[in-house]
Amino acid sequence: MPFMSLTFLMVRENVSVIVATCNGSKYIVQQLTSILNQSAQPREIIICDDKSTDDTFLLLNILAQKHPNIRLFANEERLGVVENFKKAAKLARKGNWLVFSDQDDIWLPRKLEIIIEEMQSLDDGITPSLVFSDLTVINKKNEVIAQSYWDMEKIRPERLNISRLLYGNVVTGCTMIINYPMAEEFFRLDTDKFLHDQWIALIAFSFGKVKFLREKLVLYRQHENNVMFSENYKPSKISDRIKRDLDYISGKVKLLQQQFDLAKTFLLIYRDRLDNKQAKVIEKFIAQERKNYFVKRLNRFIAYL
């Protein structure tokens, strides 16, 4: 698909798209093409490349020379996903809304236009705010795996709350637009142990503002190089599943340990901004840390009923 001329597009001066790349040459041109073909264009597309060893930076440099709204940066040292996104976010024009982009998805043509319109009605300039949407899942050949990511994962966004999110994040970063007060909270995340979308979702569903959209605005690519090996990841082989469960039962691997660490960090930083009910929910969740595997698993099951 050819790039659209920016002269025919509405440029949103208060919007920055931030892209974190690392060895993404296989899909990055397709993704950036979809961003450059949006019906509403951002003021800037900030790309931070995390010391790619393939042709990613070369391809990015070619595109940056053709499109003045692309600002390209190369990291001198590898930062990792979270710190790379944070660097890109801090390079954005101060005060701008931020839209996160992965390196291997495809945006539908009106994605930016739709989420910008929703943020306009949500942002009061003070409260950390988030808009996110559903996705369509595709494979490495651009073939549709599932029309709805939410349906595939049995996610009911209308029932999301901080209690459920403590057990695992289901708010996908590549669908997010956040306002500047939320960006400032993102900058307070000073560890790479937790993903930025986890942190932002907890803020939005506790003392922030949030709106979800049922529209599928992103073709979300699942392939061998982007699987997140978390506690929610389900091995495909029965033998692998059995081994995973035995590791949990024996205590060799601690179920939900990352979530407990996240909850403790979140409570430490934000206790004074949470109401009593929210603080007690988090404290009750943390108290499970020393429970056995079966209790934790039962409680997680109950939380999602």
Residue 231 lies in a domain: no
How many independent structural domains does the chain possess?
A: 2
Residue 28 lies in a domain: yes
Strands 106-107 and 40-49: unpaired
Predicted confidence at residue 13, as pLDDT, reads 86
The residue range of the domain holding 259 is 238-303
- 111 and 198 share a domain? yes
Grouping H, G, I as helix, E, B as strand and the rest as coil, residue 221 is strand
- 201 and 276 share a domain? no
Residue 273 lies in a domain: yes
Predicted confidence at residue 191, as pLDDT, reads 86
- 201 and 246 share a domain? no
Return d(Cα 3, Cα 65) in angstroms, integer: 14
- 50 and 144 share a domain? yes
pLDDT in tens, the chain (305 residues): 444 434 345 778 899 999 999 999 999 999 999 999 999 999 999 999 999 999 999 999 999 999 999 999 999 999 999 999 999 999 999 999 999 999 999 999 999 999 999 999 999 999 999 999 999 999 999 999 999 999 999 999 999 999 999 999 999 999 999 999 999 999 999 888 999 999 999 999 999 999 999 999 999 998 655 544 334 445 556 766 667 666 677 666 788 999 999 999 999 999 999 999 999 999 999 999 999 899 999 999 888 87
The residues that bridge with 97 in the sheet, in sequence order, are 15
Longest dimension (CA), the chain: 62
Residue 226 lies in a domain: no
Return d(Cα 101, Cα 128) in angstroms, integer: 19
Residue 230 lies in a domain: no
pTM: 0.90
- 182 and 78 share a domain? yes
